[in-house]
Amino acid sequence: MTIRTDAAYADELDADDPLAHFRERFVVTDPDLIYLDGNSLGRLPAATATRADELVRREWGDRLIRGWNEGWFVAPEQVGAKIARLIGARPDEVIVADSTSVNLFKLVVAALRAQDRRMRILTDDLNFPSDIYVLQGAIDLLGQGHELEIVPSPDGIYGPAADLRARLDERTALVTLSHTAFKSGYVYDMAELTAAAHASGALALWDLSHSVGAVPVDLNGANADLAIGCTYKYLNGGPGAPAFLYIRRDLQERLQNPITGWMGQKDLFQLALNYQPAAGLRRFLTGTPSIVSLLLVEPGVDLLLEAGMTRVRAKSMRQSEYLIGLWEALLAPLGFTLNSPRDAHRRGSHISLGHVEGLRIDLALINDLNVLPDFRTPDNIRLGIAPLYTSFRDIHTVVMRLRRIVEERLYEKYSGAAPVVT
């Protein structure tokens, strides 16, 4: 994509953008704030604010306990069925529950138990650290001597796809990877790696946290076994909103939830004293769902379904190419590096820019220039593009502000001490 670096060009691109009007469907209280952190916490959809009021005042305030029979009980499956449409799954293959980390734990333990004589788990060092901790905890809990192999990325940007394929063998129980890597934004070829895993008899489990609502995912097309993901990023579900899990239909009756609780029990209101798993995905529920947060996931999912993932991806690619073009022309000469894949097809919807003064520049952006990106060690300023509300002008402005911070050395007033949440 050949670009111009003037602001008028950004405005031309916005004028030409078929999704531009979706920005009005979000609550924007500070029009001057450039928000590029939708890959961590999505913006608040206006419909969510309305729904929250109705949910709390009418469904909870007025309907009280009757709410369970008026939609709450089936909400994990109903919201899951909508998310399924974004990730190429059947409606009964996705359910909303717990956090991403807890869902990963449930699926990993279930998968390892189903693969009883295979003792190896493969992942990579681009995976989200919580996922690695969960794997370590699951291995420890099972106490059967499973080994975790963390295959290194060749450059910290691209995933070690060929190396992973080469290491798959008859000892491998499970391959688990972030489909889109949280730091570099690298995207694995899900179909290819899942097929390679299956050829060796392993199961494939995908973390879709940085993919869902940002890049097209086709779990059924890839014949993926298992997946998990967050709803508070590109789905705009709200802080700490519950996560989702996917289990391919033919595996559901074979796998057992290791955290057995009454919400996963067959005929739960019989209140029998012996656990018997419910049919289908409900067996992967444990305790009472957090209904308020769960139902507030739905309006954000509806917005993405309305926009359509093909159009969302097309805009995300155009915006990422535009940002990379601006980086090349205006930021690379100031010492910024591109820490994301150059190849658009292997890149998600965020771009990481490195700089030796990365953290101090990030602090100046946030505190002095009204831009909210996020920061990931050692030097990555992560710029998240959420096509439903990020404009081309936002991208142009952030690049100009990054230039200013370096040219005027505005970062120098910061010591480099990181805040608790970056």
Size of the site for ligand PLP (CB under 6 A): 13
| 23-31, 125-133, 309-317, 397-405 -> range binding ligand PLP (CB under 6 A) | 125-133
Active-site residue (options: 25, 43, 315, 382): 382
Residue 311 known to be catalytic? no
Alpha helices in 29-74 (DSSP H): 46-54
- Specify the amino acid at residue 177: L
Which of 182/389 has CB closer to ligand PLP?
A: 182
CA atoms of 89 and 263, how far apart (whole Å): 23
Residue with tokens 């670009």: 3
DSSP assignment letter at 262: G
Residues in contact with ligand PLP, shown as a per-residue x/- string from 147 to 186 under the rule CB under 6 A: -------------------------------x---x----
Q: Pick from 109, 112, 128, 132: which is nearest to 120 by CA? A: 112
Which of 17/207 has CB closer to ligand PLP?
A: 207
99 binds ligand PLP (CB under 6 A): yes
Angle, to 10 degrees, between the axis of helix 358-368 and the axis of helix 392-407? 120
- One of 172, 209, 316, 352 touching ligand PLP (CB under 6 A): 209
- One of 207, 298, 357, 374 touching ligand PLP (CB under 6 A): 207
- Residue 247, phi then psi, degrees to nearest 5: -135, 125
- One of 120, 210, 248, 376 touching ligand PLP (CB under 6 A): 210
101 binds ligand PLP (CB under 6 A): yes
Do the Cβ atoms of 235 and 213 come closer than 8 Å? yes
Helix, strand, coil fractions of the chain, as percent rounded to 5: 45, 15, 40
Which of 101/252 has CB closer to ligand PLP?
A: 101
Q: How far is CA 185 from the centre of its chain?
A: 11
The DSSP element (H or E) to which 358 belongs, if any, is helix 358-368
| 165-173, 203-211, 342-350, 400-408 -> range binding ligand PLP (CB under 6 A) | 203-211
Nearest 5°: CA angle at 364, between 361 and 366?
A: 110
SS3 for 10?
helix
Of 269-328, binders to ligand PLP (CB under 6 A) are none
Residue 315 known to be catalytic? no
Q: Which residues bind ligand PLP (CB under 6 A)?
A: 99-101, 128, 130-131, 178, 182, 207, 209-210, 230, 243
Which are the catalytic amino acids?
128, 207, 232-233, 382
